[in-house]
Amino acid sequence: KAGVTQTPRYLIKTRGQQVTLSCSPISGHRSVSWYQQTPGQGLQFLFEYFSETQRNKGNFPGRFSGRQFSNSRSEMNVSTLELGDSALYLCASSLGHNSPLHFGNGTRLTVT
């Protein structure tokens, strides 16, 4: 069974640009959640989608958005990039409530 796939693995963008990251969950998993990991703040929850609906949202500005498609694949978008957005962005999928999360290896975003 294929794991969670995130693309691209690495990305370099300039301040003010926007970026879209992609996540393909494990087959059959309908829940997809996104996290930002930085050395200073650790792993922080961004949002979670289930069956194309955003179910939970973390404490991030509106520049961070996401969506989920009917095949459960998910994308997250960050607009008007800031230097502080440089981070590892992790996607995780699961079967649903109380099921373990399965993480991808992340997309490393560098904003210059």
Partner 1 sequence: DAKTTQPNSMESNEEEPVHLPCNHSTISGTDYIHWYRQLPSQGPEYVIHGLTSNVNNRMASLAIAEDRKSSTLILHRATLRDAAVYYCILRDSNSGYALNFGKGTSLLVTP
* Residues at the interface with partner 1 (CB under 8 A): 4, 31, 33, 35, 42-45, 48, 50, 55-56, 58, 90, 92, 94, 96-98, 100-106
Burial (CB count within 10 angstroms: exposed 0-12, middle 13-18, buried 19+), residue 6: buried
Shortest distance (Å) from residue 52 CB to partner 1: 15
**CA dist 89 to 28, 70, 81, 98, 100, Å?**
22, 22, 14, 22, 19
Select 80 or 105, whichever has its Cβ closest to partner 1: 105
Shortest distance (Å) from residue 24 CB to partner 1: 14
Say how many Å lie between the first and final Cα of the chain, rounded.
Answer: 37
As given in the structure block, the two tokens for residue 73 are 């694949």
Shortest distance (Å) from residue 5 CB to partner 1: 11
Cβ within 8 Å of residue 30, ≥6 positions away:
50, 51, 72, 95, 96
Select 33 or 74, whichever has its Cβ closest to partner 1: 33
Shortest distance (Å) from residue 45 CB to partner 1: 5
Select 16 or 84, whichever has its Cβ closest to partner 1: 84
